[in-house]
Amino acid sequence: MKRLILLIIVVGLLATAALGAWTYYDLHKPIAHTKTGQFIEIPRGTSPSSIISRLVSEGVIKNEWPLKLYLKTTGAGSTLKAGEYDFPSPISPIGVLAKLQQGQRRLNRLTIIEGWTRWDIARAMAQVPEFKLSSETQALELMNNVSLISDLDPEAKNLEGYLFPDTYEFSPETTPAEVVEMMVKRFRGVWKPDWTDQARNLNFSPRQIVTTASIIETEAKLADERPLVASVIYNRLRKDIPLAVDSSIIYASKLEGKWRNDGKVYLSDIQRRSPYNTRIYAGLPPGPVASPGESSLKAALNPATSDYLYYVRNPDRDDGAHNFYSNGAEFETGVQALRKWERERDAREAQERK
């Protein structure tokens, strides 16, 4: 009898140990699921048992009872947080528990591209459903809050140039005005404290540096060319030669609501009597014409040393590279080479369409 009791105890202990080992294995074994990239909402007030049942039904957890048992024995159920969860695959039940304890909320994402104008940014913001903006104009009006930048640029009439290009993540409750503030805050984080002094050493204000950087951003695709483009701008300014950059001409047309938005600069654009028309007026335009990135800001503050006055796209390369020139005759030769390449390209494309 004693042997039988002892045998039962041993079997029980072995069974308990085996169950414990299997439970441990199940809790720590990652399983694959198909919900990655899809947010699963856990409403506030949902019981721990209901949370586990929901995740089993979604396929994120395979077995229900091991995690429920773990929560009951450890008391960890009270630490689970409501939220919107995107669980990676594969993931173990213990990994699921860790995410539930940490909490997660779905974030919206808005990407601002280098060289975008405030009109481009307003268009992107108007497409975010959570902002509930009635129009792009409503978004544009939020970019008139110059108090965000008045200490750095007291002349600013709007936030053009200071809406830093980056990818922003924010909760659905974030207002569009708060996102605009995030963009300006990001700019201020990039603008180093000594850059204002560096600008003064170049006899420029921060506004003029940002304006120069905005032109560099729209003219130079390659980071290593930006200091050279900066040198061309400064050389032309010193010689009082109009900058003649298309981005400022386009900006002038946008200001008057006359830009056709088809990528072409028309004679009416070139002839527009606007201080932003850098074909007609020498000097920098009155303010930034786009959002410059950090590379362009650094180039404006650290131009290359050169005697270049001109640049034109290099037709031998397809990466946006330019050829640089110090005299008009060489520049004209470069222009003609580019025009020839454009004609040949257009002819090839027309032939392919036939």
Give the DSSP letter string of 197-220: HHHHHTT--HHHHHHHHHHHHHH-
What pLDDT is recorded for position 16?
A: 53
For the chain, how big is the Rg over CA atoms in Å? 31
Residues 6+ apart with CB under 8 A from 215: 233, 243, 245, 247, 248, 284, 285, 289, 290
What pLDDT is recorded for position 318?
A: 85
What pLDDT is recorded for position 349?
A: 80
- Flag residues of the chain having pLDDT under 50: 10, 13-14
What pLDDT is recorded for position 351?
A: 79
What pLDDT is recorded for position 104?
A: 87
What pLDDT is recorded for position 47?
A: 93
Tokens standing for 211?
């304006």
Domains in the chain, start-ordered, CATH in brackets?
Answer: 32-106 (3.30.1490.480), 108-190 (no CATH), 195-308 (no CATH)
Residues 6+ apart with CB under 8 A from 289: 117, 160, 161, 211, 214, 215, 218, 247, 248, 250, 251, 276
What pLDDT is recorded for position 204?
A: 96
Q: CA 273 → CA 129, 258, 261, 268, 308, distances in Å?
A: 38, 13, 19, 10, 28
The answer to whether residues 278 and 244 touch, using CB atoms and an 8 Å cutoff, is: yes
